[in-house]
């Protein structure tokens, strides 16, 4: 693999992560200083830090329950468990993530939990679509998220974003309360302060989404290192992102499956991810021993693991099924 390119991408991802997280923190500090003065914003960050590290790790079971997930035992899928054990060893995880199956025809996978309670969930649609080589790559990507501690990092970003939104709401409420005083020439904030309160939640949300995309790039890099096979993940992304649709849909509605602007996506453009992975080379030029050769076919679970659910969305919990 192209190790120089890997180092360049990692360094760039690290800098972008620092800049985005620092930008979100600075935006929160400005809002707090505008409302309460410069003496208080330091205490806000101290309190936020204490909350982040004092709260116990939440068990991933409650989230998996929302998706009606069922655990996959080593007896039911010995090949998958052999893969996840080897990936966990290579990534130096403290514990082996538990594998879960989700009864959905969507093609998705995600990792949840921290430290000793981690899990990786795979949808039924994903297991049917991908070959074993591609599933290894997807499992490596989710293992990389756990190894990079991305869940904690994104929780910190989410907390900062929520606090920024709270400060903005408090400021706008204060403006409404003091609105009659504007006619007397009294304004609690300058014009720039008012503008900051209005745009800060949107700016913080955009930076949070940008941070999420950067962490996806970083997980791709580590996944390629863990497996020694970046092309395997590129193939999986190509299948997931560009499913075979009807001819008239591709001709008349080329972007109907991804209508949201790229700036508002939590994941980077699949094409860019694929190009970056293919730049790294293939498994023939890797210091990582490629995963053991397994039958290049879909995983077969017991007949009780079947689903007829179509892709859907729960408005209350904002999750897909």
CA–CA distances in Å: residue 75 to residues 79, 121, 139, 312: 9, 17, 18, 30
120 DSSP β-pair partners: 99, 111
Catalytic residues: 142
Alpha carbon distance 171, 30 (integer Å):
12
Pairwise CA distance, residues 175 & 198, whole Å: 11
Buried b / exposed e over 127-141, threshold 16 CB at 10 Å, is bebbbbbbbbbbbbb
Give long-range contacts, CB 8 A cutoff, 24+ apart: 163-167: 163/28, 163/44, 163/48, 164/24, 164/27, 164/28, 164/31, 164/200, 164/201, 164/204, 165/200, 165/201, 165/204, 167/28, 167/31, 167/32, 167/35, 167/197, 167/200
Report the alpha-carbon angle 221-152-33, nearest 5: 115
Q: Beta strand 109-114 with 313-314: parallel, antiparallel or unpaired?
A: unpaired
**Residue located via tokens 């591709």:** 250
Give the span between the Cα atoms of 312 and 119, in whole angstroms: 22
- Residues 6 or more apart whose CB falls under 8 angstroms from that of 219 comprise 141, 142, 144, 145, 148, 150
């Amino acid at each position: 693999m192209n190790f120089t390119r890997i180092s360049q991408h990692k360094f760039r991802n690290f800098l972008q992560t620092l800049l985005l997280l620092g930008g979100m923190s600075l935006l929160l500090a400005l809002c707090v200083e505008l409302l309460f003065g410069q003496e208080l914003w330091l205490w806000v960050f101290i309190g936020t830090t204490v909350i982040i590290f004092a709260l116990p790790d939440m068990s991933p079971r409650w989230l998996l329950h929302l998706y009606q997930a069922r655990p996959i035992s080593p007896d039911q899928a010995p090949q998958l468990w052999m893969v996840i054990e080897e990936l966990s060893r290579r990534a130096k995880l403290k514990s082996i993530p538990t594998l879960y199956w989700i009864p959905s025809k969507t093609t998705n996978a995600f990792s949840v939990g921290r430290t000793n309670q981690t899990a990786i969930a795979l949808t039924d649609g994903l297991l049917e679509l991908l070959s074993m080589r591609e599933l290894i790559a997807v499992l490596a990507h989710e293992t990389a998220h756990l190894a990079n501690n991305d869940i904690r990092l994104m929780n910190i970003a989410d907390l900062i974003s929520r606090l920024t939104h709270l400060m903005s709401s408090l400021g706008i409420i204060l403006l409404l309360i003091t609105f009659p005083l504007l006619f007397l020439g009294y304004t609690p904030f300058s014009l720039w302060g008012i503008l900051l309160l209005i745009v800060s939640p949107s700016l913080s949300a955009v930076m949070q989404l940008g941070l999420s995309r950067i962490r996806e790039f970083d997980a791709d890099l580590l996944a390629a290192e863990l497996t020694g096979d970046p092309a395997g993940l590129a193939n999986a992304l190509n299948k997931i992102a560009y499913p075979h649709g009807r001819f008239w849909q591709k001709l008349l509605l080329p972007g109907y499956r991804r209508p949201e602007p790229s700036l508002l996506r939590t994941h980077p453009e699949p094409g860019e991810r694929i190009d970056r992975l293919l730049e790294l080379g293939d498994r023939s030029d890797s210091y990582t021993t490629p995963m053991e050769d397994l039958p290049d076919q879909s995983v077969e679970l017991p007949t009780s693991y079947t689903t007829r659910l179509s892709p859907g969305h729960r408005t209350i919990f904002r999750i897909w099924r």
